[in-house]
Structure 1
Amino acid sequence: MAASRVFSAGVEGHRYVSTATDTKADTPSSGICRRGLLAGLGAGAALATVSSPAAAFIRPPHAMRQLAFENLHTGEQLVAPYLTRGRLDPEGLSQLDYILRDWRTEEVIRIDRRLYVLLDDLRRRLGSDAPYQIISGYRSPKTNAMLRASTSGVAKRSYHTRGMAIDIVVPNRTTAEVRDAALSLRRGGVGYYPESGFVHVDVGPVRRW
């Protein structure tokens, strides 16, 4: 994978990493960015295993696919590949898993690879290159229980706790446009929250609310 470009953010010594390659809404906190989203994760070996559900969606065989995210809670921004030369990219996936971590507890898990493929296809369906703004990615059981106690509509067995869901904003598209594009893919659950301004997508059964 090509070398990363690092831009100093000047906050708490963290940096923004851009990899050069060819819910329920909570109040966003002030931004931090950090270099080397792989640092301290030690997950490279585990990421080398390709899950068959994700592999089934990957096409064409020699494509490079990448995703761009902005975490509204931490201020981190990331552009990283999940697929390089027809294979899942361990380093890029580790960075993507990290930016979707539970930012409250700093817990990182292996995000379902089908979710990245879904988000890439959704981006293409929308015709947007804008980074996905993350409202909620992975949620630890502890965080999910806290949100259930304080917020209505949080599922006890949320797909967020299994790394299979994300709540997103697409800056240059309306919430309705994102919902409609996600529904047209018919690849999982789609939740529409116009008052909060985000859309939930997951890779569970096809359904809508």
Structure 2
Amino acid sequence: MESKHFGMSRRALLGAFAATAISAAPTFSKAAGFLRGAGDIRRLRMYSGRTGEHLDMIYWIDGEYIQDALEEINYFMRDVRANKATRMDTRTLDIIAAVHNLLDVNEPYLLLSGYRTPQTNAMLRRRSRRVAKNSLHVKGQANDVRLATRSVNQIARAAISCRAGGVGRYSRSNFVHMDCGQVRTWGA
């Protein structure tokens, strides 16, 4: 399912709302507060270097997830190697949105990896011992992202402050892993 299939009227409506809404939801010290419904909107801004696609999507308004927006996010975060999407866990979306707000940036994340099929994960595992056998990417519960204007340590510290899942620092590769699994940290 491609983004263009969702119609322009919904996109136009969301765009109009975004133009009139506060540009970023309030900042919170913990994602748990954010996950419980603090703030009026939740928004993701991302782009994919692999596909050239951009995403600027309000996916939650006043306590309600917007299903069409979630479908577009699922497609955007698909395994591009296999061209397969899954339902991304909204807890992960909320974490990366909260971290973006904590960092107080308008710059979109560069999405390096969202969902991975088991086959793609196995292929990446053969290439690198740093790829987990039971990766949360396979469950749609993890993302690997970077920001040009923030360091790996800045992004990781913001994610860790959320106390809402796993945070991995990959300084040599210049990205941060965030997931909605157990609270844990790794990397340098």
8 A Cα contact 1:82 1:116, kept in partner = no
Aligned residue for 1:165? 142
The answer to whether 1:73 aligns with 2:50 is: yes
8 A Cα contact 1:68 1:80, kept in partner = yes
**Which of 97, 110, 114 is the equivalent residue of 1:137?**
114
- Taking a change above 3 Å as real, the CA distance of residues 60 and 182 of structure 1, as seen in their structure-2 partners, is closer
Distance, in Å, in 2 between the alignment partners of 1:118 and 1:176 is 16
Question: When the two structures are superposed, what TM-score results if normalisation uses the length of structure 1?
Answer: 0.73
**4+ runs of 1 displaced by more than 4 Å?**
none
Q: Give secondary structure in 1 for the equivalent of 2:112.
A: strand
Cα RMSD, aligned residues only:
2.1
Distance, in Å, in 1 between the alignment partners of 2:127 and 2:145 is 21
Identify the structure with the greater helix proportion: 2
The amino acid across from 1:144 in the alignment is N
Distance, in Å, in 1 between the alignment partners of 2:137 and 2:59 is 20
Distance, in Å, in 1 between the alignment partners of 2:59 and 2:150 is 23
**Which of 84, 99, 102 is the equivalent residue of 2:61?**
84
Unaligned 5+ runs, structure 2: 1-7, 19-31
The amino acid across from 1:4 in the alignment is R
Aligned residue for 1:4? 11
Aligned residue for 1:188? 165
Question: When the two structures are superposed, what TM-score results if normalisation uses the length of structure 2?
Answer: 0.81
Aligned residue for 1:122? 99
Unaligned 5+ runs, structure 1: 6-18, 23-53
* Alpha-carbon shift at residue 146 of structure 1 (Å): 0.6
8 A Cα contact 2:37 2:62, kept in partner = no
The amino acid across from 1:97 in the alignment is N
The amino acid across from 2:118 in the alignment is P
Structural mapping, 1:7-86, within 5 Å: 20=15, 21-22=17-18, 57-60=35-38, 63-86=40-63
* Alpha-carbon shift at residue 65 of structure 1 (Å): 1.8
Higher relative contact order (CA 8 A, sep 6+): 2
* Alpha-carbon shift at residue 58 of structure 1 (Å): 4.0
Distance, in Å, in 1 between the alignment partners of 2:124 and 2:53 is 23
The amino acid across from 2:157 in the alignment is D
The answer to whether 1:94 aligns with 2:71 is: yes
8 A Cα contact 1:67 1:120, kept in partner = yes
Identity of aligned residues (%): 36
Distance, in Å, in 2 between the alignment partners of 1:81 and 1:60 is 15
* Alpha-carbon shift at residue 3 of structure 1 (Å): 4.1
Distance, in Å, in 1 between the alignment partners of 2:174 and 2:156 is 11
Aligned residue for 2:131? 154
The answer to whether 1:208 aligns with 2:152 is: no
* Alpha-carbon shift at residue 160 of structure 1 (Å): 0.4
